[in-house]
Amino acid sequence: MKDIRSIAIDAVELVKPSIERLFERTNRQELHIVVMNPHLKPWESSFEEAVLYETSLGTPESWTIPFDHLAQKKAAQAWRESTSNVQLQQIHPSSLREEDVLFYGSFVYGNIVVACSGVQQWYDMLISSWVALAIEQLMMHEYQTQKIENPTQTYR
């Protein structure tokens, strides 16, 4: 069975053609993606230890805005609160902290937290959702395949 990091990498690669197609209508073709480890909770590890996978699309060396830092801040906010940061910004702003970024772009699906930064915030959120759902469904495939191939296995 593939590990969760391999699944996250596969998920990003799977949705990359859609991201590239979306770049045809975004304000730039730059993006940073942060995927948090769904096995770790904020009370169990530091944010840095819980980052499962990060990657950049475009040309990060020419960025005039630190999209990697913004994506990390979005991911930290969503991971800490277990909800997409648009929820905090639009419905529960009392939860916002001094260091929280004021752009949304994260998505939380179960225990999977993904955040992006680089394009318009609504597109950052869209891409984050694609990656999160792809991770869950790729993991579902691994899980179901494992059960079929090893029907007497009791534990993962």
Write out the two tokens for 105. Answer: 């772009």
What is the rounded distance in angstroms from the CA atom of residue 1 to the CA atom of residue 15? 21
State pLDDT tens for residues 109-139.
Answer: 999 999 999 999 999 999 999 999 999 999 9
Q: What domains are there in the chain, each with its CATH number?
A: 4-149 (3.30.450.150)
- Taken in order 95, 40, 67, 7, the sign of the CA dihedral is negative
Q: pTM (2 decimals)?
A: 0.95
* Helix %, strand %, coil % of the chain (to 5): 50, 15, 35
State pLDDT tens for residues 63-98.
Answer: 999 999 999 999 999 999 999 999 999 999 999 999
